Amino acid sequence: MGKAVREQLSRVLNDHLNTIHETLQILDKTPPSSLDKVSWKEVIQMGEQISKQATNAGMLYTGENPGVKALEENMAAYFNMLQGFLLLSHGSSTGAGPTLSSCIHKAVKQVVDSSFMLLHEAVSSYGSPSNKTQKLSIPQLAGAVWEACSALKKTPSTNVIAIGKAISQVAVSMKDVLREMNELKPASNEGEEEEEEEPSENFSTKPEDKPCDKDDDLCDGDLGSDLSPEEMKIVELTTDIVSRTLVVHKELIRCITLLLQRENSDDISVDSLEKILKVSQRIGVQVDEVGACLYPPQEISAIKVAIEKISSLSSEVETELRNLKGCTEDFGEACSRLRSSLGKLGSELGCDLVPELENLVITD
């Protein structure tokens, strides 16, 4: 009897899943501009209803011998909410650029996937020999639905917010690179080492002869701790550039935040915002590259290429931001300091950055 009912519920579940999959395909298409934009608050509110429905489903399936009709009605109500949730989400993506669309799609998919897992486990546990064990997992799966619905509140609701968050992620990555660069150290003076510790006859002070920890076969502690004075000078100049680049990005985030305060913020060019993000991400790639090149033996040619690209890309960001009339005085000063730092390292490496630096000087 239990097996027959379980198979019946599985068929009903599969029918609902097929309908939802068809609706999901709509999300992959850009909504027409003529479609009225749905407020993200409506999506959040629907998410709260789904969260409550997940609670009801969890309580129903973990109860004692729930009726088949009650289970089917609960399933139908749940999927009707998911259907409405998907349609609202699609409407909220009207006018969304690639970055915002990606954020919306990711958040929506999390709600749908967690709901699928909950209902699939609930149906498969009905009347099965391992019913008691499976029932224990249902509250956890319902909790996953709650978390996915709660995450909707943190999902960006506008292009400006979505792109601002994405640029913040670039800045976080730069901060990590900067921290690693600050850990680079010059080679220790051999005389000082002997004063600090007198090695035994069989003890070698050479990094390659030191035993590695069992959990650290690469001996990372010695990596980047034996730079020559010349290499350390390059490190110091490059660290200054990365630090200045990080400040530029922090000011860039502030500029984008200020764009939200405009009365006509909805009219801001999405293409320009997306271009700023892409260029920012490309700068982040070059920062990663230059950070990796500082370990001995330093790759000077690669460092030259990286700072040339940082110079050129920074120019693009400033130009695009000025086109949006969103460039603040602090951002301009941050760019100026970055130009100065780039010029210093360029002179040290014999790298001509003057044309790029001139491109950064743009009048309002």
What does the block give as tokens for 138?
């249902």
Over residues 293-335, the pLDDT tens digits come to 999 899 999 999 999 999 999 999 999 998 888 889 999 999 9
pLDDT interval class at 274 (50, 70, 90): very high
User: Which tokens belong to 336?
Assistant: 């100026």
Q: What is the pLDDT of residue 202?
A: 47
Judged against a pLDDT cut of 80, whether residue 198 lies above it is answered with no
Tokens 């200045």 sit at which residue? 244
Model pLDDT for residues 131-179, shown as the tens digit of each residue: 666 667 888 999 999 999 999 999 999 999 999 999 999 999 999 999 9
Tokens of 176: 């990590």
Q: Are 78 and 119 in contact (CB under 8 A)?
A: yes
C-alpha span between 350 and 348 (Å, rounded): 6
Please tell me the distance from the alpha carbon of residue 44 to that of residue 51, in angstroms, as a whole number.
10
The pTM assigned to this predicted structure is 0.81
At residue 134, the pLDDT reads 63
| 146 contacts 54 by C-beta, under 8 angstroms | yes
Q: What pLDDT, in 10s, does the model give residues 61-79?
A: 777 667 788 888 989 999 9
In this structure, of 148-162, 174-188, 205-219, the range with the lowest mean pLDDT score is: 205-219
What's the rounded Cα separation, in Å, for the pair 77 and 94?
27
> How many other C-beta atoms lie within 10 A of the C-beta of residue 79?
21
Q: Residue 189 pLDDT > 90, yes or no?
A: no
In the predicted model, is pLDDT for residue 200 greater than 90? no
**Residues 173 and 284 sit within 8 Å (Cβ to Cβ):** yes
Task: Give the residue from 174, 170, 186, 171 showing the smallest Cα distance to 290.
Answer: 174
Residues 6+ apart with CB under 8 A from 46: 81, 84, 85, 88
- Per-residue HEC secondary structure of the chain comes to CHHHHHHHHHHHHHHHHHHHHHHHHHHCCCCCCCCCCCCHHHHHHHHHHHHHHHHHHHHHHCCCCCCHHHHHHHHHHHHHHHHHHHHHHHHHCCCCCHHHHHHHHHHHHHHHHHHHHHHHHHHHHCCCCCHHHHHHHHHHHHHHHHHHHHHHHHCCCCHHHHHHHHHHHHHHHHHHHHHHHHCCCECCCHHHHHHHCCCCCCCCCCHHHCCCECCECCCHHHCCCCECHHHHHHHHHHHHHHHHHHHHHHHHHHHHHHHCCCCCHHHCCHHHHHHHHHHHHHHHHHHHHHHHCCCCCCCHHHHHHHHHHHHHHHHHHHHHHHHCCCCCHHHHHHHHHHHHHHHHHHHHHCCCCHHHHHHCCCCC
Is the pLDDT confidence value at 130 over 90?
no
Cβ neighbors of 233 (< 8 A, separation 6 or more) are: 348
CA geometry: angle at 88 spanning 85 and 93, to 5°?
Answer: 125
The Cα–Cα gap between 145 and 228 comes to: 55
Residue 187 has pLDDT above 80, yes or no: no
Q: What percent of the chain has pLDDT over 90?
A: 57
Residue 353: per-residue pLDDT:
67
